[in-house]
């Protein structure tokens, strides 16, 4: 058992807590206890699964049919498929409680972490950004609170995220992969969250559409910017107009020179047009 790399007991009716002996499986790469009736806390020693902390090279394939949930879908691996590149922890759809153990964030080679539909409480670990290779992170339908850790912005491989239906609050982080998470359902069910793509506290930049307020009009910042633009246009027109014509009105000599210049320009243009017309008549 110490050389076990895949442990899948999904879709059963197991009860009780997750045994601590699990933490001694140093070569485990895939752990799937989903869709059972397990209760209690996630063992803190889960961070001892060294197979999910370093690179291992396997020269064999898994012979059998295997199902794995990743990126919100069920993938079926058939006979002979080599699974040594796949790393996953799936404890979804149980009755697990307590906080997410900090040890989970030390599994730096983990690709999929599914913990939805449990009774997990507390904050999302602040150093969850250590999971540098994570592609799928599903913490939905728990009782997690606090803010979304800023360290999650560094998860550049993350392409499937679900934090819906918790008690999260604060501003949704921005930057890197979070710029691609534009589906509001990722964050729905968290009344305290704000920021894009949620309508609360979302302001787009760079020419993107302005978020409308609840009465169907533009928000206060947009109205203020338009008002400032109109005022600046009026001031600019007044300064330009009176800078020229005000001076002409007060200085008679300048007024005479200005209109004399306009007369000369008019005569020059008329002479030029007349010369062009005469030339064309001679050519014809």
**pLDDT tens digits for 68-85?**
666 666 656 554 455 667
The mean per-residue pLDDT over the stretch 94-107 comes to: 94
Encode pLDDT of 7-57 as tens digits: 889 899 999 999 999 988 888 888 999 999 999 999 999 999 988 887 765
Place of tokens 């934090």: 163
Of 40 and 206, more confident: 40
Displacement of CA 74 from its chain's centroid (Å): 24
Q: How far is 153 from 175, CA to CA, in rounded Å?
A: 6
DSSP state letters, 208-259: PPPPBPTTSSB-HHHHHHHHHHHHHHHHHHHHHHIIIIIHHHH-HHHHHHHH
Residue ranges per structural domain of the chain: 6-202, 221-283
Residue 34: HSE in the Cβ half-sphere, 13 Å Cα cutoff: 19
Q: How far is 178 from 149, CA to CA, in rounded Å?
A: 12
User: Is 30 strand, coil or helix?
Assistant: strand
Residue 215 has a pLDDT of 41
Give, in order, the Cα–Cα distances in Å from 209 to each of 184, 204, 258. 16, 7, 48
Cβ-based burial of 169 (10 A; exposed 0-12, middle 13-18, buried ≥19): middle
Residues in contact with 283: Cβ distance below 8 Å, sequence separation at least 6, in sequence order: none
Strands (E), 88-163: 88-90, 95-99, 112-114, 119-121, 136-138, 145-146, 160-162
Q: How far is 16 from 95, CA to CA, in rounded Å?
A: 10
Instruction: Using alpha carbons, select from 35, 180, 186 the residue that is nearest to residue 117.
Output: 35
Instruction: Report the CATH architecture of 6-202.
Output: Alpha-Beta Horseshoe (3.80)
Encode pLDDT of 223-254 as tens digits: 566 676 777 677 766 666 666 666 656 666 66
Output the pTM of the full model. Answer: 0.67
Query: By the 8 A CB rule, do 156 and 133 touch?
Result: no
């Amino acid at each position: 058992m110490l050389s076990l790399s895949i442990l899948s007991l999904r879709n059963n009716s197991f009860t009780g807590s997750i045994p601590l002996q699990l933490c001694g499986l140093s070569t485990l790469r895939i752990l799937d206890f989903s869709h059972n009736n397990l209760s209690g806390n996630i063992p803190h020693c889960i961070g001892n699964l060294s197979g999910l902390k370093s690179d291992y090279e396997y020269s064999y394939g898994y012979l059998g049919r295997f199902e794995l949930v990743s990126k919100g879908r069920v993938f079926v691996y058939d006979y002979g498929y080599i699974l040594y590149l796949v790393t996953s922890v799936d404890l979804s759809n149980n009755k697990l409680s307590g906080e997410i153990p900090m040890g989970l964030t030390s599994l730096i080679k983990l690709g999929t972490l599914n913990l939805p539909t449990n009774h997990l409480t507390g904050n999302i670990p602040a150093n969850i950004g250590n999971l540098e290779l994570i592609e799928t992170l599903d913490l939905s339908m728990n009782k997690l609170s606090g803010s979304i850790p800023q360290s999650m912005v560094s998860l550049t491989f993350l392409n499937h995220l679900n934090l819906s239906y918790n008690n999260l609050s604060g501003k949704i982080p921005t930057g890197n992969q979070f710029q691609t998470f534009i589906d509001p359902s990722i964050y729905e069910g968290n009344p305290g969250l704000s920021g894009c793509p949620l309508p609360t506290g979302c302001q787009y930049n760079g020419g993107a559409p302005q978020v409308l307020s609840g009465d169907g009009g533009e928000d206060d910042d947009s109205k203020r910017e338009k008002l400032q633009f109109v005022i600046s246009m009026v001031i600019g027109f007044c300064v330009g107009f009176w800078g020229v014509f005000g001076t002409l009105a007060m200085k008679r000599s300048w007024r005479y020179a200005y209109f004399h210049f306009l007369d000369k320009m008019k005569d020059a243009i008329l002479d030029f047009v007349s010369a062009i017309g005469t030339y064309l008549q001679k050519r014809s």
